[in-house]
Structure 1
Amino acid sequence: MYTEIEQETLDIDCFFTDGKYIGFMTSCGGKLPDSVAGSKEEHHVLVNYFRSLPEISEVLVNSELDRLLIKIVGSGVDERYLEDYVSMTKKGLYSYDKTGLNNSLDSHYHLVASPNEPLKLESLPKDILNILSKTRFLNHIENFREINLLEID
């Protein structure tokens, strides 16, 4: 289990699904969905699985990202910022970052990049599918540039 202190102080990978596609976000010290926070062991299984996948897709970086980052942190997009998100998106995942930095209670995330060829839930091994299915986005990932963590069950 991830404690409240760990959630507030760590940048933890989080994976979720809408029942068809897979999303990836980094917590940036924000609160995790209960399904993620509840089991470090299951979380590590997902991290190891998704980080070891081969690249399958080209990446579309959010066209509004530069403007959004200037507003949030005072500087635009650079390669260092994009590196991890692009890496995960090349694996077929929709990638999101926390919008309200330095506020652990803020539950808003913005799209960093989306895949041309999304990884489909149906292609996952059963053990990964069983864990991932516990963290469910209540809408269709491909239609959202912004996500409220409160919409992830």
Structure 2
Amino acid sequence: MRISPLDQQDADIDWFAVDAEGHVVHFSSGGGPLPESVAASEEDLLTLHQYFLLLPETADAAQVQPQTNAAQSGRSAESFVRYARRGLFSFDKTQLHEAADRRYHLVARPAWPLTLAELPGPVAALLLRTQLSFSAADTPAADIAGVG
């Protein structure tokens, strides 16, 4: 089932993508619009969400710290650090509930990044629907306006 624009506006939705280097990236929508590739299937998004939350923390999880701009949106960094401990770069929407603004900022960086090559085929296939043109490792802030 598709995630409606109204549901996107009313919720803070965790969604996932793969960056230009094959790293897995987490975003928290903050009431903003989702890329169409994400909004197309609530079931597929739930599959990815469950998969990543059930991953064990990496061996270097204790090294994960919030970035200097972590509190830019005014929210706690803990949920973002949780994803980074599992190997995902984790971004938050900079202007919460601003539909026209599609900017995000990096909140937590993994000590050991998870890559697409490490994922089971079905999970990787779902993730490949949403590809980023930039490297999350080199991007403290990102505009996702062009993400499909």
The residue type paired with residue 40 of structure 1 is: E
Structure 1: 4+ residue segments shifted above 6 A = none
Residue 145 (structure 1) aligns with = 140
Deviation for aligned residue 1:96: 0.4
Q: Percent identity?
A: 32
- Taking structure 1 as the reference length, what is the TM-score of the superposition? 0.88
RMSD (Å), alpha carbons: 1.4
Matched, 1:41 2:43: yes
Residue 30 (structure 1) aligns with = 32
Q: Deviations over 1:17-59 (max 9, x none)?
A: 0151011011111000001000011111101100100000331
Residue 65 (structure 1) aligns with = 70
The residue type paired with residue 147 of structure 1 is: A
Deviation for aligned residue 1:83: 1.4
Q: Which runs of 5+ in 2 are unaligned?
A: none
Using the TM superposition, name which of 30-39 and 10-19 deviates more.
10-19
**Mapping of residues 1-153 of structure 1, within 5 Å:** 1-19=2-20, 20-56=22-58, 57=61, 58-66=63-71, 69=72, 73=74, 81-153=76-148
Q: Tell me how many residue pairs correspond in the alignment.
A: 143
